[in-house]
A and B are shown apart, each in its own frame.
Chain A
Amino acid sequence: MLHAKIIDSSIEKIEISKAEYFLKSEKFGAVIYFIGVVRDNNENKKVNGITYDAKDTMVIKSFEEIYNETEQKLGIKNKAVFIEHVKGHLKLSEKSILIGVACKHRDEAYRLSRFIIEEIKKRSPIWKKEHYENEDSEWLKGISLTT
């Protein structure tokens, strides 16, 4: 069971309560939330916000592929996964990503959560533009998808 969505920050916010509602089940004894938030510094530069860009349809497709791979790669059959990632501008401490996972036991849940965020970093077409105190801004260097 997967929920995957891009959140336009100009319209709505990531809300943990939605993940709690989606993941709630008597089948699962372990629920973990990973939340990414905007921090105030990067490489000795004072950051005051980040603009996220995304190729929405391709991002959702990547979330679905990552979810579908978890049974074979991690051996986790019974699970619920909630993934939302922001697109648009965020201020400091605002949430950029929420990955909620629910499994039968905690070991599965920890492994699943870690696997999903690491794969998103490597595969999902999302970009960050940092905004600095001196009013400069910069697209962050990332991982090339060239083959």
Chain B
Amino acid sequence: MKISVELFGAAREFSKTKYLEFNFSKSCKVIDIKKKLYEHVDNKFNGNLNYKEIIKSSAFCSDKDQLIKENQILNKNQIIGIIPPIGGG
């Protein structure tokens, strides 16, 4: 199963692409995706603490623009969004 994480705001610094893709052998929870993101930061950015703080403080949303909780189960290929702390206007 493939989960694509669409990057926004400060999380765009995690990659030059718009998405990060993670593979799971079966269903996963949002918290599992957060773990994958932490691993990505460890591997690609030498464990950058600012980037880890962004992950920690971010919400996630479904492809239907609903905020989803960390224990939400994902059981099919889909795109979710990482929503770092906001501040428009």
Contact = CB atoms under 8 A, between A and B. Distances in A.
Q: What bracket does the count of chain B residues touching chain A fall in? A: 20 to 34
Contact of B59 (A126, A128, A129, A145): A145
A146 interface: yes
B47 interface: no
Given A144-B59, A146-B58, A55 B88 contact: no
A142 B59 CA distance: 12
B84 A124 contact: no
A36 interface: yes
A141 B87 contact: yes
B19 to A, nearest CB: 13
A61 interface: yes
B87 A54 contact: no
A52 B8 CA distance: 10
A142 B89 contact: no
Contact of A125 (B12, B13, B69, B86): B86
B69 A85 contact: no
B89 A117 contact: yes
B83 interface: yes
B84 A127 contact: yes
A127 B88 contact: yes
Contacts of A129: 9
Given A127-B8, A127-B9, A127-B10, A142 B61 contact: no
B87 A144 contact: no
Contacts of A147: 59, 67, 69
A138 to B, nearest CB: 9
Given A126-B89, A143-B85, 7 more contacts: A58-B81, A85-B89, A96-B89, A120-B89, A121-B89, A126-B88, A139-B84
10 contacts: A52-B88, A54-B8, A59-B88, A117-B89, A121-B88, A126-B87, A126-B88, A128-B87, A142-B9, A142-B84
